[in-house]
Structure 1
Amino acid sequence: MTGTDPVPGLVARVSATGTKTDTPLLAVPQAVSVIPRAQIDQQAARSVGDSLRYTPGVFADTRVGGVLESVFLRGFGGFAAGATNPQILDGLPLVKGGNWAAQVIDPSVLERVEVLRGPASVLYGQASPGGIVSMVSKRPTEQPFRAVTLTTGNRNRAEAAFDLGGPITADGRWAYRLNGLGRRVDTQVDFSREQRLVLAPALAWRPDDDTHLTLLGFYQNDPHNNFAGWLPAEGSLFPSPAGRIRRRFFPGEPGFDAYDRQQAMIGYAFEHRFDETWTVRQNLRYAHIDTRFEGVAINYFAPFGAIARLLERSASWSREAVDGVSLDNQTQADFATGPVGHTILLGLGYQGSRADVNASGFGPVPPIDFTAPVYRRPFALPAALPRTRQDWSRVGLYAQDQMRLDHWAVTVGGRQDWSLLDTANRLTAGSSRQDDEAFTGRVGAVYLFDSGLAPYASYATSFEPTLGTGFSGAPFKPTHARQTEAGVKYQPPGLDSFVAVSGFDITQDNVAAADPAHPFYSVQTGAVRSRGIEFEARATLSDSLDLIGAYTYLDTTVRRDSNPALVGKRFVAVPDQLVSLWAHYRFPGGPLAGLSLAGGIRVIGRSAGDPANSFSVPAVTLVDAAIRYDLGAADPGLAGWQASINAANLFDRTYVASCFAAGGCFYGNGRTVIASLGYRW
């Protein structure tokens, strides 16, 4: 089995995310979680963030909407342009612009979603120290199959999808896969809806057992997406003299509310095995993304007007187009030196992108009364800022050696990266350049007991470029992070289960902080730390029962800042604990044969509401449920038909998911009900 193959059931044994080679999870000296297709389907995930709800170290329920997928990994993340999105697809980084142009991949086209927690720069270049979310596309299949699904639900949901695949030629050398999806659904906020059209073709050519070429295409059109905006803590999280702000309240303007996104990608994955020692791989992808954003949002720094029920607002807009090419060349050598086995990986990675940005500043909009909102009052469109073009090129050289001696598995790797960003002002013809480089590495060891027990320890580093300059005009240096991690994994032979516990300590330096001597500028004097413990268990205990459990404890701290009052404070919007449990039971026979019941519970812990930790977002407990019925079990004439109903936040809890300031909080998603009828043949 390889790291791109479908996972039978809920428990994976092999992944390529942690090493870029097909490696057993037990032999990777870092925490890796694999969310297979079966789990995505069981839980009816409609976004990659949804699929991560039962994964340790991950907080993905930060806000409602499909504009961006804001994911926090081991405490590191952000909002808006600073958000950490699922950023790796088929081993290559997705493209991202400077404002709202970010790629979001619908999970209907994915075979698995994987999370490598902790620094990943040694293989992928610039990345958050908290980790990466890596997605694997559905690939052509050797066995023919066809599936169609119709879906409805609350909020006027209407959805249709198909998934086709199989061999093209009798000898199986050519095979195909074609996925498609159309969706339209309202959101819990007035005037807001989401629409999506997805098409993902794939073609595989296998002239012999040693040569594989897979062409991967992708098109996604989001003609309307939900930008519901944020709300002040007073009225949502806390009582207000004017009353509570309703969850369905829309703080924007119906006539000036748009987020249109079109994405197109074409690429390939090529592999050729010369002999028992040498294998070469090349992954290449071209991507294009167009976005149009128009929105009105509450002034989070001063949300209230003259009276408590009036909210001050501002408008902004942007148009952005990004073109990018991602390339990863790999040479793998498998050999032995005496008793030591080696898997050497040498690689050259490149990503180049060009972003054309036409955006506005912020303009005033008449305030709105959240108790009796009046919309469509006239306001002036904010003026355009100078149009810019950003050319960004990133090159990385990396090497890794996976050594095996008896029960020991040792991984050592290093990578040198160069990053060059040119920004041109098309109005003034001025330009700026930011040139960064960094070396990152990882060393780790695992002891593999015959019983399936695998204690491990590792040390890894990462970097991220920091865009901008200080008051002196000097460009910022990249942030650097280092992590120590130790843990134990357990995957007994012959049993369909996986258990892991890990402890980690991450420190990040060169973090931007407010310049105390020069307002509106920053200095790189900050440092932050994230420590925690994670637990994950997934198992198929019998032919009938599946279990998934996860626990996370996080201790995040600001260690240095130009503002002494912020030292010792927790990270914004990061829960101190996360707990989840999912159980899925299939009735094995009798009158209930074909029926499956599932339920889940998610506990999201308390989080800081602003950098000063002046208030907290309280913990919340949410319940999910699902029922599925194989109609063929009741009537052989209905073989292939399946019906299902899923409910997230079953009891429709109204809660605040996260805040980034006293004027910036997000309600969590209310009850979502999805009913599907599918046929597979």
Structure 2
Amino acid sequence: MNQSHTGRRARPGFPLPRAALRRVPGWAAVLACATAMPVAVSAQDAPDAGEPAADAPLLAPIVVDGRRETGVGPVQGIAADVSRAGTKTDTAIVEVPQGLSVITREQMDRQDVHSVGDSLRYTPGAYADSRPGGVLESVFLRGFGGFAAAAINPQMLDGLPLPKGVNWAASVVDPWTLERIDVLRGPASVLYGQASPGGIVDMVSKRPTRDAQHLLAVQTGNRDRGQLAFDFSGPVTKDGTWRYRIDGLARRADEQIDYSRQQRIVVAPSVTWQPNADTSFTLLGSFQRDPHNNFAGWLPAVGTLWPDAGRRIPTHFFPGLPGFDTYDRTQAMIGYAFEHRFNSTWKVRQNVRYTHLDVDFAGAAVNFIAPYLSPGVLNRSLSWSREHVNHLALDNQAEMRVMTGPVEHTVLAGLSYEHAVANLVGSGFGAAPPLDTRAPDYGQPFTVPPVAQQTRQTPDRIGVYLQDQVRWDRWVFTLGGREEWSRTTTDDLLRSASVRQSTRAFTGRAGVVYLFDSGFAPYMSYSTSFEPALGTRFDGQPFTPTKAKQFEVGLRYQSPDRLQNASIAAFDIRQRNVLTADPEHPFFSVQTGEVRSRGIELEGRTRVWKQLDVIAAYTYLDTTVQADTDPTVVGKRVAAVPRHLASLWLDYAVDRPGLRGLKVGGGVRYVGRSAGDNVNTFDVPAVVLFDLGLSYDLGVERPAWKGWRVAAHVNNLFDRTYVSSCFSAGGCFYGTRLMVTGDVSYRW
């Protein structure tokens, strides 16, 4: 179905008055989102839809490269119009009654992102730099997230959940293999089942294209960085019935800290069979190997935030054991996306994916409860684990579009299933030799602790859901409900003990949007979430489920030419049984009673003067503990969640003879002050960071160089040394310092 500029349906006989198209200039619309919501939501300002002008133009469909934009296809530029993340149907973003942002492929390329977390730096409501590095994606959305693998904000790939293990095993997807990243903020369990109340990150894979395209790219940079990437796609048969795509990369780079290296090989092939306009079947696969990586360990606040005996610990300091510390991951996926349209009323979809994940982990870490044995001498412990996860996820959908008088319904019924077997063999915590931060001795002998854990965890989840998107005149109502049955069996194979957790929960969402002809769209919604917390406490007992509810109101704007859009949202989330770091047992988590997160988000994506693209975002977050077994944290801010986040990215295309093809981009990111622990005994200071991007398409003015492109990018331009977050006085992370890359690519 075609979607209009303003999110309204493009149907014959429903015109858009020209006066309305001229009513709001683009730059004024962005400002209005932040200042004029009480005025804009007044229906008295809307023209009478029943009396259109006789010469009013009909709404045009949203198209990209001559084809209608979809929620899984490419987006032209930095602003998407359509998404599937918010409704599981191809819906105009202005019709979704919830916070939703899309990071397009073009934005990822302009900003030279190396992880999904990097992609979220200019997105409201998201903080992904709490634990730098691409080994684990530690994402906070609307104040909810975490540091340990079991607390990573749940991520989705092509609408299906990615697996996580019992301890440190977690799937990570390289952004090179992605077409777009959709960030749905707020509870999303009504469609996706178990999910964090902060929202979901739904990554969309690159898919075969109708037109042939080929790309080779070489990248180098500081920290001995080297990368070779490729992306080939096109038709296999002359009529385009069969199409293929294969993309991937090989990367090697030193990390910021000593004795740490990032290595990755990823290949993602896909094949599409589309015999006609009504049927398509796409086979999606990927293989990713991350051998012998290390991730940044935490350090005490004394020595990072504050000097220790007059000096700070260097940002390159390695707190682990060289030759012992490792994070070795092998990840393989195979699945498909099938879609068939029977007629103008009925459509079915099925998405399936099987994932195999192996992770070998070993590491020495600072004891964050008692980090120092004496001034400058770290108290450490060590552990190791091997995890193997097999995971199956599928989602069946039936979509019906029907008119009942003047009301149009888009009804979605679905059944999802998820099954996993996660096996863990690991140690307890053994003593590691002390380490002097002033004169580290990495040659001290140590003893590898013996096997102390052998666990098998088997989660099974079945969900049925129903959603109705009701369009009546300018109103869009979204109503949905989901019933989910979850059972998790945890077997302690060493002690021949078993614990089974069974849960049944209903989650829902109700939202309403009003579409003004001027492009403004106020909305409000109520939604709930449910999450069986996968993992166990230190004593081996499984976590109890979490439940959350959210109220949200907001206002969106989209210009008639779709080059300018903006949004503002206010929300209030309450969640019970939130996972937090166990203060007595490193690498484990406990559950608090209740957390409340309230905030405001603003976002703008616009093109100015036909040459300047602007991405702006601001977030205010008030995330506090409302109930806990520890009375000292009640009423206090949740650790590591900045109260303020702001960002601005500008990208200018030079239009002067001799320089056409040159693009100059730059950004500034403000990360506000955050609590250093849940008792709020200290704060992590705010920081301002600058990024820079340059690219030059050599073929724009020189036909002989057609297809060649050179680029350079700089993150943390002024090499600021800063602490990105702390979860206790014994656990802080340094932020990423200066990073410089240069690229040469050829496209044909």
**TM-score in same-fold range (> 0.5):** yes
* Contact preservation (8 Å) 1:448, 1:455: yes
Q: 1:405 aligns with which of 455, 469, 472?
A: 472
- Corresponding residue of 1:7: 75
Question: 1:12-411 maps to which residues of 2 (within 5 A)?
Answer: 12-85=80-153, 87-241=155-309, 243-305=311-373, 307-411=374-478
Shifted more, 234-243 versus 145-154: the winner is: 234-243
Q: Is the counterpart of residue 503 in structure 1 residue 570 in structure 2?
A: yes
* Contact preservation (8 Å) 1:166, 1:176: yes
Q: 1:619 aligns with which of 659, 680, 686?
A: 686
CA RMSD of aligned residues (A): 1.9
Q: CA deviation at 1:158?
A: 0.5
Q: CA deviation at 1:473?
A: 10
* Contact preservation (8 Å) 2:499, 2:541: no
* Contact preservation (8 Å) 2:149, 2:164: no
Q: Is the counterpart of residue 454 in structure 1 residue 521 in structure 2?
A: yes
Spell out, residue by residue over 1:346-365, the C-alpha distance to the aligned partner (whole angstroms, 9 max, x if none). Answer: 00011100011101111001
2-side partners of 1:579 and 1:285: how far apart?
Answer: 36
2-side partners of 1:678 and 1:523: how far apart?
Answer: 48
Paired amino acid for 1:323: N
Q: CA deviation at 1:242?
A: 5.5
* Contact preservation (8 Å) 1:514, 1:562: no
The 1:84–1:467 alpha-carbon spacing in structure 2 relative to 1, beyond 3 Å, is: closer
Spell out, residue by residue over 1:217-268, the C-alpha distance to the aligned partner (whole angstroms, 9 max, x if none). Answer: 0110000222221000000011111521000000101111111000000000
Alignment coverage as a number of residue pairs: 677
Q: Is the counterpart of residue 554 in structure 1 residue 621 in structure 2?
A: yes
2-side partners of 1:402 and 1:396: how far apart?
Answer: 20
Q: CA deviation at 1:512?
A: 6.5
Q: Is the counterpart of residue 479 in structure 1 residue 537 in structure 2?
A: no
2-side partners of 1:93 and 1:468: how far apart?
Answer: 16
Q: Is the counterpart of residue 631 in structure 1 residue 694 in structure 2?
A: no
Spell out, residue by residue over 1:394-421, the C-alpha distance to the aligned partner (whole angstroms, 9 max, x if none). Answer: 1111000000000000000000111111
The 1:126–1:450 alpha-carbon spacing in structure 2 relative to 1, beyond 3 Å, is: same
1-side partners of 2:221 and 2:603: how far apart?
Answer: 31
* Contact preservation (8 Å) 1:242, 1:308: no
- Corresponding residue of 1:429: 496
Q: Is the counterpart of residue 591 in structure 1 residue 658 in structure 2?
A: yes
Paired amino acid for 1:357: L
2-side partners of 1:434 and 1:575: how far apart?
Answer: 34
The 1:629–1:513 alpha-carbon spacing in structure 2 relative to 1, beyond 3 Å, is: closer
| Secondary structure of 1:633's aligned partner | coil
Q: CA deviation at 1:24?
A: 0.1
* Contact preservation (8 Å) 2:508, 2:527: yes
2-side partners of 1:642 and 1:363: how far apart?
Answer: 52
| Secondary structure of 1:235's aligned partner | coil
| Secondary structure of 1:591's aligned partner | coil
Q: Is the counterpart of residue 574 in structure 1 residue 632 in structure 2?
A: no
2-side partners of 1:393 and 1:562: how far apart?
Answer: 30
Q: CA deviation at 1:543?
A: 3.1
* Contact preservation (8 Å) 1:86, 1:132: yes
- Corresponding residue of 1:466: 533
Paired amino acid for 1:492: S
* Contact preservation (8 Å) 2:154, 2:195: no
* Contact preservation (8 Å) 1:87, 1:93: yes
Q: CA deviation at 1:472?
A: 12
- Corresponding residue of 1:605: 672
Spell out, residue by residue over 1:479-519, the C-alpha distance to the aligned partner (whole angstroms, 9 max, x if none). Answer: 11100000000002114121000000001124479999xxx
The unaligned stretches of length 5 or more in structure 2 are 1-68
Paired amino acid for 2:298: W
Paired amino acid for 1:387: Q
Paired amino acid for 2:480: G
1-side partners of 2:90 and 2:161: how far apart?
Answer: 19
Q: Is the counterpart of residue 663 in structure 1 residue 720 in structure 2?
A: no
The 1:356–1:382 alpha-carbon spacing in structure 2 relative to 1, beyond 3 Å, is: same
| Secondary structure of 1:592's aligned partner | coil
| Secondary structure of 2:89's aligned partner | coil
2-side partners of 1:228 and 1:558: how far apart?
Answer: 27
Shifted more, 552-561 versus 127-136: the winner is: 552-561
* Contact preservation (8 Å) 1:316, 1:361: yes
- Corresponding residue of 2:64: none
The 1:468–1:254 alpha-carbon spacing in structure 2 relative to 1, beyond 3 Å, is: closer
* Contact preservation (8 Å) 2:600, 2:620: yes
The 1:437–1:376 alpha-carbon spacing in structure 2 relative to 1, beyond 3 Å, is: farther
| Secondary structure of 1:440's aligned partner | strand
* Contact preservation (8 Å) 2:144, 2:153: no
The 1:236–1:419 alpha-carbon spacing in structure 2 relative to 1, beyond 3 Å, is: same
Paired amino acid for 1:636: P
2-side partners of 1:222 and 1:448: how far apart?
Answer: 47
2-side partners of 1:111 and 1:201: how far apart?
Answer: 14
Paired amino acid for 1:302: A
The unaligned stretches of length 5 or more in structure 1 are none
2-side partners of 1:171 and 1:119: how far apart?
Answer: 43
| Secondary structure of 1:632's aligned partner | coil
Q: CA deviation at 1:635?
A: 2.6
Q: CA deviation at 1:315?
A: 0.6
* Contact preservation (8 Å) 1:487, 1:501: yes
Spell out, residue by residue over 1:511-540, the C-alpha distance to the aligned partner (whole angstroms, 9 max, x if none). Answer: 479999xxx999977111000000000012
Spell out, residue by residue over 1:624-652, the C-alpha distance to the aligned partner (whole angstroms, 9 max, x if none). Answer: 00111111235321111000000000100
